[in-house]
Amino acid sequence: MIKTVACLLMVVATSLAQRRPPIQPYDNANVIPIISYVNDNNYDGSYKYSYETGNGISASEEGFLKNPGQKDLEAQTARGTYSYTAPDGQVITVNWYADETGFHAEGAHIPTPPPVPGVPQANYPRGK
């Protein structure tokens, strides 16, 4: 009896494993072409890449090793830009750099904090 049940379960399991979903044809209408692509890597740690797509997305980046061979001063630095079109039609562009101080980005769409108000010097006693 156990052999019969085991064989029956194996037949059911193998028949279910053979079932595959129907193959969907590939739709070439949604393919976005790559208009340009550059990727250069150098032995000294410097590099440069850029690309642009058919739907207006683009990016570029370049980087290098700052102070190579100096143990405590060595740092990888990079800078670049990227842009794309937002759903509302606005072109978004970000320029950025990254180094030992961190990542820094600038763009018209990125909110910036208000400037810190200056402290009037008249309120502080002046040393003589």
pLDDT of residue 70: 84
Residue 16 backbone phi and psi in degrees, to 5: -70, -35
Number of CB atoms found within 10 A of residue 111's CB: 5
pLDDT of residue 93: 97
pLDDT of residue 19: 66
pLDDT of residue 48: 97
Report which of 110, 81, 111 is spatially closest to residue 96, judged by C-alpha positions. Answer: 81
Side-chain-side CA neighbours of 121 within 13 Å: the count stands at: 2
Q: Give per-10-residue mean pLDDT for the chain (128 aa).
A: 78 67 78 94 92 96 88 89 94 94 90 77 58
